[in-house]
Chain A
C-alpha cells in the first residue's frame, strides 16, 4: 500500500489537532492515531515526532508528564495548553488559506 509523506510544515498541525481531540497521549499513540485517522495515508516518519514535541514544549504549546500505559509501562504523556489551542487555530486557518489557494489554482479554467 502506498503511503504519502506529510506536506512540509503540517507536522505541528497534526500533532496539535490529535492532542486536542484526545486530551493526553504518548508519542507512539500520537503517531498511530495520525496514521489511523488518515486511513494509513499519512505516514509520519515516527522519530521526527520527538524533536517536534520538544519544540512544542519549548514554545509552551504542550506540557508533558510521566504516567503508565494500559499495559502498565512508563510513558511520557503530552497535553495541550491554552497557548497550544490558540496555536492550533492559527495553524488551521493558515493551512486552510494555503489549501484554498492551491485548490483555486488547480480548479481554475
Chain B
C-alpha cells in the first residue's frame, strides 16, 4: 500500500501547490541568511558574505524548479495552463469558437444519438439471465424452398431429450377474445410449453410461473398476464390472483402477473407485446392426442443451451441429431426436402430486421462527424496562420516543438470536449422528441437510453475528434521556420505554401465524403420515390379495414363457428348490416392475410396457422415437392372493392359456399409459376394434407402489390371465405366514410350479431400502405438529413478556404488591378481555384460512393447501385454548391480598392 500513501502525499502537494512554493522559498531564504550571518562573523564585508552564501547555495531558481518537478505534476500543470490559455483564446474569437463548437456539437450529438440506438438494440444483450445461452430454433426445408416451417410435437420431445438444451419451448402466437370485462377485447396470446418462463429465467412480479416439469395433456387451465393487461383490463386489481379470465369462452385461472417492461423475445412488435401466456405440452384435446411427426404445427421455438455449450457446438450436435432422425423416420422427413434445424441467437431474431439500416445510419452519421472535423481542422489551420507569429515567438523563447504541439492539441481536444458536452446536453433535452422519430415497431425501444456506455462513447468520440482535427494545425505549428515567421509576422500573416496545400486537401476530403453521403441518400430517396409511385394494382383510396375475430374454444361443443357452414350465416349477416352504415358503398370480408401490405398480419397468420403447402393434380407426388404459397380467404366482393382486375374466368361468387365444390381465384404470377405456358383455368390443386378436397381454379386476376410494395409477382391464391374456416376476420368498407366513427359503428353491427366479439385495428388502407414503408422512410429520412448536413458543412468549408484565400491575396490583387488587370478575369481566376477543388473532391467521392452503394444494394429498390442519374446529379449539385460558396467571398475582389489594398501592407 506504499504507493497509495505516496500518491496521497503527491496529491496533497498538488492541492497545496502555492503553499508548497512559498514554504520552499522561505526555507531557502532562511538558509541563505544563516550562511550570510555565519560569513559576517568571520569578518568579511556584507557584500562578500552575501556573494559567498549565494555561491555555496547554487542557482536558486533551478533548485526551486527541481524541487517542484520532483513531485511529478509537471504534465498536469502544463495541461491546466494550456486549458486556461485555450479558454482565453476561445473567448477572444467568439465567432470562430461558436462555429467550431456547434459543428462538433452537431456531429457528436447526432453520432451519439444513433449510437444509443445501436447500443440498446445490437450491443446490449437481451434482458434475461445468461442471454448468450438463449437461441431460437428454426426448421428449414431448403429442398422445397421453405424456411422457418416450424416443428412437430415429437421433434420438440426429441430436442428436449437430446441433452443439448436445458429447456426447449415451442412458442405459438395467437390472438384471443378476452370477455367478461366491460368490452370484449382482442388480446395477444402466446401459447408456450410450461417451461417457457423458467427457460427465459424471468419471474412474475406477482404470483407464480407455470411448473416447468408439468406434462399434462391439453391446455393448462392457468395463464400468466402482462403488467399492462393487468392495469388496463383489471384495473390493477390487487386480488387478481384469485380471479379468472375468460379467453375464447374458456375460463383460465390467473396465476401470475409479469413485471412491467417485460418484453417477449419476438420478431415483430406484435410478438413482443404479449398480453397473455398460456401453457400446454402440445398434445391432448384440443390438440391431437398423438401428434404425428409430419405435422409441423408448432410455428416457432426458443431454447436455452446447457451451460458451457457454445451455439456452434450445439449446432453441430443438433446437425448430428437431425441426420439420425432423418434416417429413423424417413417416411416423415423425405430426403429431398433436406430438412435442417438452425440455432439462431435469440438476440438475432429480435433485432435482426433492423441491423442493416442501423449500420447504414451509424456509417452515415460518422461521415457527418468526420466532415465536421475536417471543417473545424480547416478553421483551426486558418487561425493557426494568424497565430503563426505567436508560435514563432514561443519557440524563440525556448518552448520545445513537442510542447507547442501538445499545447495546440490540448486546445483542440478541449474545444471538441466542449462541443461534445453541448451536443450531449442538446441530445438529453430533445431525447423525448427524437425517440418519437423511431418507428413504433422498432425492437427494444424502451431500453434506449443515455447509458454509461453511451456517455463513454460520446467522450471517446469527442477526444478522438479533437485529436483528428487538431493534428494537422498542430503539426504545422511545430514546423514553423523561425526567421521567416518572425520576419513575415510583421505583415500579420504566414500563409505558408504547405499550409495552403493542407487546407486544399481538407476541402477535397470534405467534398469526397459529402459525395458519398449524398449519393447514398440519393439512392435511398430514389428507391423510396419509386416505391411511392409504383402501380399498386389495387386502389386503397376510401377503404377502411376493421378487424374482428371469432373465438376458438378448447372444447368443440362450445364452438359456434366450427365449420364454414356455421360461419357463413354470420359473415352474410355482418355484410348485410355493414352495408347499411352511413356512407358505405361496398363491403367485403377477408381473413387477416387479405389486408394488402400489412406485413405483420401476414407473418402472424403464418406463425399461428403454419404455411400452406399445395400439391397439384396430375403431377407425380414423389418427384414434385409440395409448394408453400401465400393464400387469403375472401368474400366475393373483395376484388371489386379493391379494384383488382380480372384477366380471365370469373371472380368468386356468392354461391361458392360450403355446399358447392371448392374453388379459387389465382393471380397471374401463380398461374405463370405453377402452370407455365399452359392455361391455368380449370386446373386443380389441394392442400398437402390427408382428406383435403380438390380446389378448382375459376379465375385469374392481375398481379397486385399486395405482398409488399417492392414485389409485384408474388404468387397468390384467393379462396372463398364461405368455403374455408377462418377466425381472424377483416371487414373492408369502401365509401365516403367517417374514419373516427367507423370502429364504433362496426362494433355495434358486429355485436348485434354476436355480442362477445371484439373490434380492433381500424385503419384506412392508405395508412396501411404508408405504414408498410415506415422503416424505409425512417432510414431514408435520416440519411437524407445527414447528407444535407454534410452538404452544408462542405459548402461552409469551401467558403472558408476561398474567403481566406481572397483576404490573404488582397494585396496581390490590389497590385494586379493597379497594373490594369480586368476585375472579371481575377474573379474567374479565384472561382477556377474553388471549382478545381470541388471537381477533384467530387471525383474522389464518386469512386468511393461506387464501393459504398454496392454494400447497400439490399436497401435499394428499382435503382441500380450505380444509377448514373443519381451519381451525375449529386456530383453536379455539389459542384454547384461549391461554386456558389466560392462566389460569395470571391465577389469581394470586385470591390477591392487598389489604394486600400496596397496600404493593407
Binding site for B on A (CB under 8 A): 26-28, 31, 45-48, 50-51, 53-55, 57-60, 66, 69, 73-76
Contacts and interface: CB of A to CB of B under 8 A. Distances in A.
A58 B70 contact: yes
Contact of B59 (A26, A47, A60, A76): A47
A47 B30 contact: no
Contact of B34 (A28, A51, A76): A28
Contacts of A31: 31
A67 to B, nearest CB: 11
Contacts of B62: 47
A58 B67 contact: no
19 contacts: A26-B30, A45-B56, A45-B57, A45-B58, A46-B56, A47-B58, A47-B62, A47-B63, A48-B58, A50-B24, A50-B28, A50-B66, A54-B24, A54-B70, A54-B71, A59-B6, A60-B5, A60-B6, A76-B26
A58 B31 contact: no
Contact of A51 (B27, B56, B70): B70
Interface residue SS majority, chain B: helix
Given A28-B35, A47-B63, A58 B30 contact: no
Interface residues of B, number: 25
Given A47-B58, A50-B63, A59-B6, A74 B70 contact: no
Given A27-B31, A54-B67, A54-B71, A60 B2 contact: yes
A75 B63 contact: no
Interface-centre pick from A27, A46, A48 (highest chain B CB count, 10 A): A46
Contacts of B2: 60
A94 to B, nearest CB: 20
A73 B34 CA distance: 10
Nearest to B30: A75
A11 to B, nearest CB: 13
A54 B6 CA distance: 12
Nearest to A73: B30
Contacts, number: 65
A45 B10 CA distance: 26
B8 to A, nearest CB: 10
B71 A47 contact: no
Contacts of B5: 60
Contacts of B66: 50-51
Contacts of A60: 2, 5-6, 9
A55 to B, nearest CB: 5
A6 B63 CA distance: 18
B27 A27 contact: yes
Contacts of A76: 23, 26-27
Interface in B761-777: none
A50 to B, nearest CB: 5
Given A26-B27, A74-B30, 11 more contacts: A26-B30, A28-B35, A45-B58, A48-B63, A50-B27, A50-B28, A50-B67, A51-B66, A58-B6, A60-B2, A74-B26
Contact of A28 (B30, B59, B60, B71): B30
B6 A28 contact: no
A48 B70 CA distance: 12
A31 B62 CA distance: 18
Contacts of A47: 28, 57-60, 62-63
A26 B35 CA distance: 13
A39 B66 CA distance: 29
Contacts of B6: 58-60
A92 to B, nearest CB: 21
